[in-house]
Amino acid sequence: MKATAGSLRAILFGDNPKAFAHVAELDGRVVGIAVWFFNFSTWTGRHGIYLEDLFVDPEARGRGVARLLFGALAAEARANDCARIDWAVLDWNELGKGLYRRLGARHNADWEPWRLDGAALDALTRGSD
């Protein structure tokens, strides 16, 4: 992990936040987080929300924490006239997939996740191929 408390503080709570977070608490203890940012779709002509991270403490799972966090995201989406909420899930995370199906989400089989990072990103920045 390369994120630090300082870098997260700047991104989430600085003068010009680039990402946002919701937290869930039980008995005064943080047991879940949803970190997200706005994206944009030329297809819909509207913003959307991209859920980057959703985590619920294993001891709090099964208590509706993830559903509440998704509810908060849905409220953000509606308040900001967003067309949708998108996220990725690891292919082995059957527990997560089950939750998402119960929420009414669907697997978007038409799109494959792709990533450009590390040395390839550096090379592209320099104009190399």
Q: For the segment 18-75, what is each residue's pLDDT rounded down to a tens digit? A: 899 999 999 999 999 999 999 999 999 999 999 999 999 999 999 999 999 999 999 9
CATH number attached to the domain at 17-125: 3.40.630.30
Domain boundaries, the chain: 17-125
Residue 9 pLDDT level (bands cut at 50, 70, 90)? confident
Q: Is 114 left (phi over 0), alpha (psi -120 to 50) or beta?
A: beta
> What is the pTM assigned to this prediction?
0.88
- Per-residue pLDDT, 10: 84
Of the candidates 100, 107, 110, 127, the residue annotated as catalytic is: 100
Q: 33 and 53 in contact (C-beta within 8 Å)?
A: yes
Active site residue 100: yes
Q: With pLDDT > 70 as the criterion, what percentage of the chain qualifies?
A: 98
- Alpha carbons 100 and 110: distance in angstroms, whole number: 18
- Per-residue pLDDT, 128: 55
